[in-house]
Structure 1
Amino acid sequence: MTTDSRGSAAFLIDESLGFLIPAALRAAAAVGVADHLADGPRTPAELAAATGTDARNLHRVLRLLATRGVFAEDGEGRFALTAAGDALRTDAPYSARSAVLMNTDRTMWWPAAEMGRCLTEGTSAFEGIFGVPFFEHFARDEETAAVFHTGMAAMSDPENEPIAAVCELPATGTVVDVGGGHGGLLLEVLRRHPALKGVLYDQGHVLAGHRLDTEETAGRWSLAEGDFFTGAPAGDAYLLKRILHDWEDDRCVTILDHCRRAMAPGGRILVVDAVVPRGNAPHQAKTLDLLLMASLVGRERTEADFAELFTAAGLRLARVLPTPTVLSVVEAVAA
């Protein structure tokens, strides 16, 4: 064995153990350990007493996460929450705890472990494990659905304000947030555009958790219950944030076509999704693409992929606007 081969083996073995990082992160999030570090460092024994956990095993989890900068251990064996790990607190301004629990939930974790099925069978691993497609499983399991919708809101909240700042919208009229969940992005849009009205369009059980009822948006929003595969409310602009990446191309074309047909003359559709860049540089889109492959049926797309979708739906790609987040605003207009 050559030196290069030994180095390659060591590298690959180390990479293969990387799954234990999110496993440890999930364990820490599940027991809420970060909530007990807001006031300063504590020993594993103190944290174990506060969280009802085993002190020795908790120490082992914290020690590993300290190598990733989530926690920091001092010379006296106490652990502190770092600036990078602060959002693991439940009460952090933009808490990521729910997003961590969603991304490491069994609905994501188990299919990822069976990713080989995607290669040999050419389809999602999810249905082979859970017996039904992803969203059908969620419709049957309220607890899992709650994990997903709460997690998506937590994942979206830090993004919404900077994305809303990039979206170019009409001065007046109606913007429709298609599949908008709890309305976090629409809320930020309405805050920035006081003459706009908004419609949050989603399924009834999702709309029940909306957050649009604020003093500054009073009288400017409404809820519309429905299925984006069967239609869309009338509007001047449409937001589709993290929607198209969940679905196969033909289903995306259906969603876009409904929006185009409902859209007022001169309107536009703003698809807010990651755009996969060229080259080998790391990008979250490349990681999430495999989650989508394993658990759902969609994919992250390149700019050329979006252009093809739009053409098939009677639309034209107008431009791609980067945002300070991992997402871009891919703007479409009627062809």
Structure 2
Amino acid sequence: MYDSIIQTFWVKFIDNKIELAMKEILTESMDVEEFDKTMEILECAFERCSQGKNFFGGENMNYIDICFGSTLGFIISAENKLTDIKLLDVKKTPLLFKWAEHFCAQDLIKGIIITDVDNIVKMEENEVYVNTMKFVHCAVLPKMMKFSIEVGVVDVLVNAGSGKFLSTKEIADKLLISNPDAPVLFDRIFRFLASHGFFKYKLQKSDDGSTISRLYGASPECFYFAKDEHGVCLAPLFFLHHNKFMMENLNYLEDAVKNGGTPFNKAHGMSIFEYASKDLVFNKNFNICMYSHSMITLKKILNSYTGFNVLKTLIDVGGGVGLTLKTDGVTHVIGNMFENISSGDAILMKSILHDWSDDQCILLLKKCWETLGEKGKVIVIEGIVPIAPDVSNPVFESDINMLMVCKGGKERTEMEYRSLAKKAGFSCLKIPLIIGNYISVMEFIK
């Protein structure tokens, strides 16, 4: 029979798993078809194992009874209270149904197994509330990241080295901050950033064990915000997206959605490219952002992609300050992508197509097709939007940025890129490299 050993096993290894299964049932995230098949298999297993007795173990409960009996008992309780949940088919699994009822009726296990549907519903509602509050306060994260980068905290932690941890007092001293309250203020900010994984942390007890303090270190992500050996990082791009000038675009999003147009154009009276040609400071900062992003991205691409190795002439279309072409054996040819494109073994477009509408992309790709040789190709480096938005992906954020600043510009799905390739006359589209489900290298083959 059920005893203290089984109860200990239950509390240590099973409780949380059963709770998760129950939440899946109540939130309708369980695969019903898979559940039905599992129940039919268990019905056969019970018939064989129980040998006509009450439990899988015969007359005595065993671990299988505890695991599955509690879940089925909960389902029966849920079906009695919630009319929209119908999972058990008594006709298909009569033995399991009877077994679950008998199991939950045992005095020895009452109060141990979670069978209160109302409590589970409340727990789920509380989780939803907490997640909602995270959305309410979501603006705090980029603000605190911006602060930690600007003040120099990220540089201090990165310079300390991977796996090294510093106290907030040590960090304040390295930044030459004399305010005696700074270490305490830092700790409040840093523990928040650590909770989001931007910083690492380690707990440290005082010598007498009476207090616990936190030490902080650089996460792997921090290293992308500190200048590398080439003097580049992603901090300029981060600052561009979060400065007042770009945030002003948000004030015109509603107008753009309701009445048409682009938020950036409405906010500043011209397109982002026109603005960059008039404001030399903005143009310089924008080019620094693109240069840094290209340096970091291309380094990752060149570590895995071999498509550049056989090329004698690579045409870099819309290549900014020309970083991509600073490669041995590649000839630089000047041209205007919407007027004419010079001939070469291949044409490269990095972060270009997402700036333009489908019609403009097709026009540009057709010009590429016309100038390429028989076996030529266009190498396109862009993010690819997943069909299902079930996991956070920076390409979604990039798509919103395109929506805000470029008329017709957008990130695209694989199907949309294949459609562009076909309409422009290319025979096929290959995707030889995808970096972290974010940046992809595509080859438009003539």
Report if TM-score (shorter chain) is over 0.5.
yes
Does structure 1 conserve the Cα–Cα contact (< 8 Å) formed by 2:168 and 2:186? no
Which structure is larger by alpha-carbon Rg, 1 or 2?
2
Work out the number of aligned pairs and report it.
303
Does structure 2 conserve the Cα–Cα contact (< 8 Å) formed by 1:166 and 1:323? no
Does structure 2 conserve the Cα–Cα contact (< 8 Å) formed by 1:167 and 1:329? no
Q: Which residue, out of 145, 149, 154, partners 1:34?
A: 154
1:291 aligns to 2:411 (yes or no)? no
1:212-238 Cα shifts (integer Å, max 9, x gaps): xxxxxxxxxx6x2x5322222221200
C-alpha separation between the residues in 1 aligned to 2:315 and 2:277? 24
C-alpha separation between the residues in 2 aligned to 1:237 and 1:305? 22
Relative to the length of structure 1, the TM-score reads 0.77
* Offset of residue 18 of structure 1: 1.6
| Structure 1 match to 2:381 | 272
1:3-56 Cα shifts (integer Å, max 9, x gaps): 455543432231232222122212222233322332362535853882769736
Q: Which residue, out of 274, 283, 292, partners 1:136?
A: 274
| Structure 2 match to 1:11 | 131
- CA RMSD after TM alignment: 3.0
Distance 1:49 1:169, change over 3 A: closer
Distance 1:61 1:111, change over 3 A: farther
C-alpha separation between the residues in 2 aligned to 1:318 and 1:79? 46
What amino acid does structure 2 have at the position aligned with 1:43? T
C-alpha separation between the residues in 2 aligned to 1:244 and 1:28? 34
Query: 59-68 or 44-53: which moved more?
Result: 44-53
- Percent identity reads 22
| Structure 1 match to 2:432 | 321
* Offset of residue 327 of structure 1: 1.5
Distance 1:44 1:59, change over 3 A: farther
Which has more strand, going by share of residues? 1
Describe the SS at the equivalent of 2:379.
Answer: strand
List alignment gaps of at least 5 residues for structure 1: 200-221
Does structure 2 conserve the Cα–Cα contact (< 8 Å) formed by 1:239 and 1:269? yes
Does structure 2 conserve the Cα–Cα contact (< 8 Å) formed by 1:270 and 1:332? yes
Deviating beyond 6 angstroms after TM superposition, the runs of 4 or more aligned structure 1 residues are: 51-54
* Offset of residue 254 of structure 1: 2.6
C-alpha separation between the residues in 2 aligned to 1:102 and 1:166? 29
Does structure 2 conserve the Cα–Cα contact (< 8 Å) formed by 1:101 and 1:147? no
Q: How does 1:295-314 map to 2 (within 5 A)?
A: 295-297=405-407, 298-314=409-425
* Offset of residue 85 of structure 1: 1.5
Q: How does 1:139-150 map to 2 (within 5 A)?
A: 139-150=277-288
Does structure 2 conserve the Cα–Cα contact (< 8 Å) formed by 1:44 and 1:78? no
Q: Which residue, out of 219, 241, 244, partners 1:82?
A: 219
| Structure 2 match to 1:185 | 324
Q: How does 1:1-335 map to 2 (within 5 A)?
A: 3=122, 4-5=124-125, 7-37=127-157, 38-39=159-160, 41-43=166-168, 47=172, 50=175, 55=182, 60-73=188-201, 75=204, 76=213, 79-91=216-228, 95-112=233-250, 114-164=252-302, 165-169=304-308, 171-187=310-326, 190-191=327-328, 196-199=329-332, 224=334, 226-279=335-388, 280-297=390-407, 298-325=409-436, 326-334=438-446
Describe the SS at the equivalent of 2:427.
Answer: strand
Query: 241-250 or 305-314: which moved more?
Result: 305-314
1:219-267 Cα shifts (integer Å, max 9, x gaps): xxx6x2x532222222120010111011111221232223223323321
* Offset of residue 91 of structure 1: 4.2
Describe the SS at the equivalent of 2:287.
Answer: helix
* Offset of residue 145 of structure 1: 1.9
Q: Which has the higher contact order (CA 8 A, sep 6+)?
A: 1
Query: 281-290 or 67-76: which moved more?
Result: 67-76
Distance 1:176 1:18, change over 3 A: same
C-alpha separation between the residues in 2 aligned to 1:53 and 1:132? 45
What amino acid does structure 2 have at the position aligned with 1:70? F
Describe the SS at the equivalent of 1:323.
Answer: strand
